[in-house]
């Protein structure tokens, strides 16, 4: 994994942590609903990180 991809993954992880903290500390959702929101938020960030890493690899891969 190259540095550009690593930065994208860490940025996504930080955004997930901040978003999860906001969801868990505010609002009037039940614990079950909060866990579902955090799981959906995490899944979206995993997909985002995979797209960024895959796109970076696709653009910068060595041409043969």
pLDDT in tens, the chain (64 residues): 677 778 877 887 888 788 777 777 777 888 898 888 888 888 888 888 888 888 888 888 888 7
pTM: 0.65
Confidence at residue 1, expressed as pLDDT on a 0 to 100 scale: 60
Count of domains for the chain: 1
| Structural domain boundaries enclosing 45 | 3-60
- State the maximum Cα–Cα separation within the chain, in Å, rounded to a whole number: 56
Confidence at residue 10, expressed as pLDDT on a 0 to 100 scale: 83
CA angle 49-33-52, nearest 5°? 5
Confidence at residue 11, expressed as pLDDT on a 0 to 100 scale: 81
Confidence at residue 22, expressed as pLDDT on a 0 to 100 scale: 77
**Beta-carbon contacts of residue 22 (< 8 Å; ≥ 6 apart):** none
């Amino acid at each position: 994994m190259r540095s550009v991809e690593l930065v994208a993954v860490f940025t996504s992880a930080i955004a997930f942590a901040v978003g999860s903290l906001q969801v868990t500390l505010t609002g009037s959702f039940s614990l079950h609903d909060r866990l579902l929101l955090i799981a959906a938020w995490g899944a979206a960030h995993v997909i985002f990180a995979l797209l960024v890493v895959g796109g970076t690899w696709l653009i910068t891969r060595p041409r043969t």
